[in-house]
Amino acid sequence: MDIRVEQGKAEKYPCELLLLFSFESREQLEGPILNVDLEWKGFLSNLMKQGDFKGELFEHQLLHTHGALRAKRVLLTGLGKRGEFDLEKWRGASSKAGQFIRDSGIKQFAFPIWKFDSFSEEGLAEAFVTGLLLGTYQFIEFKTLERDKIKEIGEVVLLGETDKEIKAMNEGLRISKIISESVNMARGLVNGPSNTITPTALAKKAERIAKDHVINIQVLEVGQAEAMGMGAFVAVAKGSQEPGKFIIMEYNQDKGLDTIALVGKGITFDSGGISIKPSEKMERMKDDMSGAAAVMATMETASKLQLPLHLVGIIPATENLPSGKAYKPGDILKTLSGQTVEVISTDAEGRLILSDALTYSLRYHPKAIIDLATLTGACVIALGDYVIGLFGNDESLLKRIEEASANTGEKAWRLPLWDEYFEYLKSDVADFKNVGTRAAGAIIGAIFLSKFVEKIPWVHLDIAGPASIEKERPYIPRGGTGVGVRLLVQLLRDWAKGEER
């Protein structure tokens, strides 16, 4: 999809389709739709007066102009009640409009920007493009039949009138394109099956990103990880024929900038290992590298946006499979931190590989560590499939995350890390077990991770629910969602802004 900004008036602009929005109201029309209505001799206001278009949220009405306008068609899209409007609804509305236009087989449309209330043109343009690019994402890599029936929008023109508008829209477009394309890249990795998205493939992709965007990269083999003492990562990796990879990406090193470490769980397939999972829904476990995908996409975005921060992306990548070489319940592992872990379930593998990755991140002396992981089914039970479980040891970092969450619509909800929960992880034979009780499973997983970050401000995002979804949401199609990328990028942008001040 090619999106660009042009100077022009909606009521005079020749295009296949003109996209117009309206709030739900009986009163006066507002924004660019007003001038279009005038040009069209009150056609639109009459339509609304007669109740044929109400402006309800995501309501659509496709109209043919029959030469009354230079646009061949008009698509009206409802924004719902004015008082309930926010950028999250706006992203949803642009997505729904984009999906409607695409599914109608229309290849080109124009959209006049409309500045209202306290929303900036740049912010509105950014959110519009985000909704559009994320909402019309399709994973078609493996579809071979009837490829010609796959519909796509070719060209979108954002219309502005003043130079100031055009400048702001171009900036919003630039930023959203960078972020949204990275989110869609992450979705592609999550949707990709584990027979193509192996740890080796993840490492190759990370290397590609690093080459293209001036990021340093180092990929450790399992043997090297073993020599360094990563007993937990190695234990999980050794059951698989696919070689595990420990990936370290670094952006802006040695510049005296604030260091932030991003750690992503990269299990490219989680069978549970010897503690094998039931086969029902096991195919979903290809998404167990969603944290890794989010970290890679965030590194890419940060570099494209040239954020003035020192970022370290750490991705332990491996499969979790049963075999004659696999680790077993009862095994005692020595982690990179020196602490020992008694394996109760080989299906609690995420916290094991993350423990070594978290310890590894400490050598960079980061100001903050943020990990993303599809860590526990319990988190899905607790919060559902559209909310991130949020844990941390530092109030100000947690607040930063919550602010970014509110601004991006990537919902995150705090759960406690009280000492009492640690009791469940005490082991008779090692420093701790890798599994506690079923009750409070998400919290216990997070408590385990907390033992590997020492006193560094740290946040754990359990993305088991939202990483991939079965029921689509306004601008998130079914399947891999790329969750976490927009949240992290927002956090980093806010952090970088704070540093400039």
Q: Which stretch binds Zn ion (CB under 5 A): 216-224, 264-272, 324-332, 457-465?
A: 264-272
The H-assigned helical ranges of 54-198 are 87-103, 121-135, 163-191
Chain-centroid distance of CA 412 in Å reads: 12
Give the residue closest to ligand BES by C-beta: 377
Q: Which is nearer to Zn ion, 182 or 191 (CB)?
A: 191
11 binds, among ligand BES, Zn ion, Mn ion, none (CB under 5 to 8 A by kind): none
- Of the listed 187, 304, 351, 411, which one is catalytic? 351
Q: Which amino acid, one-letter code, is at 483?
A: V
Least separation, in Å, of the C-beta of 236 and Zn ion? 9
Element (H, E) at 408: helix 395-408
Question: Which residues, numbered 367-426, are part of the site for Zn ion (CB under 5 A)?
Answer: none
* Residue placing its CB nearer to Mn ion in the complex, 318 or 408: 318
- Taking residues 225 to 264 in sequence order and writing x for each that binds Mn ion by CB under 5 A, - otherwise, the string is ----------------------------------------
Listed residue (314, 301, 320) closest to 247, CA to CA: 314
Distant-in-sequence, close-in-space partners of 272: CB < 8 Å, separation ≥ 6: 320, 322, 345, 346, 347
DSSP state of 314: E
Comparing CB distances to ligand BES, the nearer of 193 and 498 is 193
In angstroms, the CA 346 to CA 240 distance is 13
Q: Does 350 bind Zn ion (CB under 5 A)?
A: yes
Distance from C-alpha of 221 to C-alpha of 230, rounded to nearest angstrom: 11
Q: Which is nearer to ligand BES, 92 or 350 (CB)?
A: 350
340 near ligand BES, judged by CB under 6 A = no
Residue 378 in the binding site for ligand BES (CB under 6 A): yes
Cα gap 99→207, rounded to integer Å: 33
**Cβ-defined contacts of 138-143 (< 8 Å, 24+):** 138/477, 139/187, 139/188, 139/191, 139/479, 139/480, 141/188, 141/191, 141/192, 142/193
Least distance from Mn ion to the Cβ atom of residue 466, Å:
17
Which segment (107-115, 133-141, 157-165, 371-379) binds ligand BES by CB under 6 A? 371-379
441 binds, among Mn ion, ligand BES, Zn ion, none (CB under 5 to 8 A by kind): ligand BES
Side chain identity, residue 8: G
Q: Which is nearer to Zn ion, 266 or 479 (CB)?
A: 266
For 453, the token pair is: 């970050």
CB of 236 to ligand BES, least distance (A): 10
Question: Is there a contact between 172 and 5 (Cβ–Cβ < 8 Å)?
Answer: no
The listed partner (ligand BES, Zn ion, Mn ion, none) that binds 377, CB under 5 to 8 Å by sort, is ligand BES
CA distance between the termini of the chain? 37
- 268-287 mask for Mn ion (x: CB under 5 A)? --x-----------------
CB 302 within 8 A of CB 488: no
CB of 270 to Mn ion, least distance (A): 4
Q: Residue 392's closest CA among 314, 448, 322, 446?
A: 446
- Count each helix (H run) and each strand (E run) in the chain, helices first: 14, 20
Q: Is 277 noted as a catalytic residue in this protein?
A: yes
Query: How far is residue 8's CA from residue 26's CA, in Å, rounded to a whole number?
Result: 28
CB closest to Zn ion, residue no = 270
Q: In the range 241-270, which residues lie near ligand BES by CB under 6 A?
A: 270
Q: Which is nearer to ligand BES, 257 or 282 (CB)?
A: 282
Instruction: For residue 288, state whether it binds Zn ion (rule: CB under 5 A).
Output: yes
| 131 binds Zn ion per the rule CB under 5 A | no
351 is catalytic: yes
Interacting residue with ligand BES among 347, 356, 371, 410 (CB under 6 A): 347
Q: Is 226 helix (H, G, I), strand (E, B) or coil?
A: helix
Residues 6+ apart with CB under 8 A from 184: 133, 134, 137, 482
341 forms part of the interface with ligand BES (CB under 6 A): no
Label residue 243 left, alpha or beta by phi (over 0 means left) and psi (-120 to 50 means alpha): beta
Burial of 9 (0-12, 13-18, 19+ CB in 10 A): middle
- What residues numbered 265-324 form the site for ligand BES, per CB under 6 A? 270, 288
Question: Annotated catalytic residue: which of 167, 277, 284, 473?
Answer: 277
Asked whether position 135 contacts Zn ion by CB under 5 A, the answer is no
Residue 347 touching Mn ion (CB under 5 A): yes
Task: Kindly list the residues in this chain that would bind ligand BES in the complex (CB under 6 A).
Answer: 270, 288, 345, 347-350, 374-378, 380, 435, 441, 464
Interface residues with Zn ion (CB under 5 A) are 267, 270, 288, 350
Interacting residues with Mn ion (CB under 5 A): 270, 347, 349
Residues annotated as catalytic (active site), given as ranges? 277, 351
